[in-house]
Amino acid sequence: MKKFNRIVFIFISIFMLGTVLYLGYIENMKKDIADNLLRLHIVGADDSEYSQNLKICVRDRILSDFSEVFSYCGSLEASAARARELKPRIEAAAADELKSRGCNDSVSAVVEECRFPTKNYGEVTLPGGVYTALNIRLGAARGHNWWCVMYPPLCINGGNAVITDSSKEKLKTCLSPEEYRLITSGEEPDVKIKFKLAELLGRYFK
């Protein structure tokens, strides 16, 4: 009986060690994914239906006007630098979109680090974590947020990520094959659970 218990203990220990190592591997992949993407973050003035609709209109305008520009960037660093260069134009485009809809709210845009939750965009599931982001704040910026990806450009068709061939190639270039498969696996609930467990493990061992 003691021998059996010892064997069970060994198997449980091996299983737990394997789980910890695997989740640590996922956590490292999460960080690498965050280090290679430029996110887009738009904050509505408030949570009224009017302000939230304006936020979506600004989103569509920014993606329409600037997605192609960022498609020519070759890295997070290049896309972040381009976003800083384009800041006046981005703010002007967002303000123009608001004004065309009868709103004179202020607009501010800044490239900074920002924490994002795990988010599914149709074909892509991105892990939560700290990303470099183009943050656009509308008015008092007290409303709900909207997240997406500016580089490589993924957000079209109402916020779902339809991955074009060029975006696929850029993702494959800046991510490892394992990281690419992880975020495009199509098993969203399973992937989100893996990301969450890895996040909890990372916090525990900090």
Tokens of 93: 């485009």
Contact status, residue 59 vs residue 42, Cβ threshold 8 Å: yes
pTM: 0.74
pLDDT on residue 175: 84
Evaluated on CA atoms 60, 128, 151, 84, the torsion sign reads: positive
Q: Give the residue ranges of the chain where pLDDT is below 70.
A: 1-27, 122, 155-164, 185-206
Backbone angles phi, psi at 192, to 5 degrees: -65, -40
In terms of DSSP H, where are the helices of the chain? 2-34, 49-71, 76-85, 87-100, 165-174, 177-183, 188-204
Q: In the prediction, which pLDDT does 189 show?
A: 47
d(CA 93, CA 182): 35
What local confidence, expressed as pLDDT, does residue 194 receive? 56
